[in-house]
Amino acid sequence: MRILFIGDVVGDRGVQMIQTYLPQLKRDLKPQATIVNGENSTPVGRGISQKIYKQLLASGADVVTMGNHTWDNKEIYDFIDDTTKLVRPANFPGKDVPGRGWTKLKVNQATLAVINLQGRVFLPPLDDPFAAADQLVTEIRKETPVIFVDFHGEVTSEKRAIALYLKGRVSAVVGTHTHVQTNDAQVIDHQTAFMSDAGMTGPAAGILGMQPASVISRFLNQRPARYEVETSEPGIMSGCVIDINDETGHATKIKPVLIDADHPYDR
């Protein structure tokens, strides 16, 4: 099985990059499943709308994952319970959290499970993601060994820790949230694919997708600032492609995907 994963889609420019390049990547890389993180995909860069969710699916996403901005666009409450293809962090506290923390899809004769988890370092204190992962993985492995984890976290140490903790029990742990693609893609002990952060998909000229002026101002004066999504060219699209043995659930290869001005897509 080959999985294509695309990192945090930011604003209108990110959705445009998905619409332009995702069909081309799928044509050339031929993944059997495509997962896109859409938690920053609204025009203001926080949350997701039903319209954008449908646009991501129409462009080729099979599953859309979320993160710490899951609830920022209140419209999500109107549709999250009606879909099996939108996954929010499984470790939100409480028993009656809308939506689902994982989903599954048939891929030829195999079943792929997709889990979304959120870290707790420098982020709101959700339930323990390690404990949540233990419970979910134990149950899911009764049905399939092919498990992909989008771990939405701030620090590389927490992401690396959960990848090592789940080594051999899941097929891949790929980080999101920091919007900068890391240079550490590997298959740990020939079992679990890992990458600290897949990077972002959106405007490349800003700071993590935001207009620079307000971000720089915040650093200079330490006062609250309203961040606005950068809308100018050029764009960037980041992610990775992972090959997995359907029978064992072990990853065999992971390779970064990067499209920007310095890495044009010329296939």
Q: Which is catalytic among the residues 69, 152, 179, 250?
A: 69
The Cα–Cα gap between 77 and 89 comes to: 15
What's the pLDDT score for residue 232?
85
Neighbours of 258 (CB within 10 A): 15
Angle at 36 between CA 171 and CA 248, to 5 degrees: 15
- pLDDT of residue 267 exceeding 80, the answer is no
**Angle between helices 129-140 and 156-165 in degrees, nearest 10:** 30
> How do 86-87 and 63-65 pair as beta strands?
parallel
Asked about 179 being catalytic, the answer comes back as no
Answer yes or no: are the C-beta atoms of 246 and 113 closer than 8 Å.
no
Q: pLDDT per residue over 28-73, tens digit each? A: 999 999 999 999 999 999 999 999 999 999 999 999 999 999 999 9
Per-residue buried b or exposed e for 37-55, using 16+ beta carbons within 10 Å of the residue's own CB? bbbbbbeebbbbbbebbeb
Percentage above 70 pLDDT, the chain? 100
The model carries a pTM of 0.96
What b/e string do you get for 90-102 counting C-beta neighbours within 10 Å, with b at 16 or more?
bbbeeeebebbbb
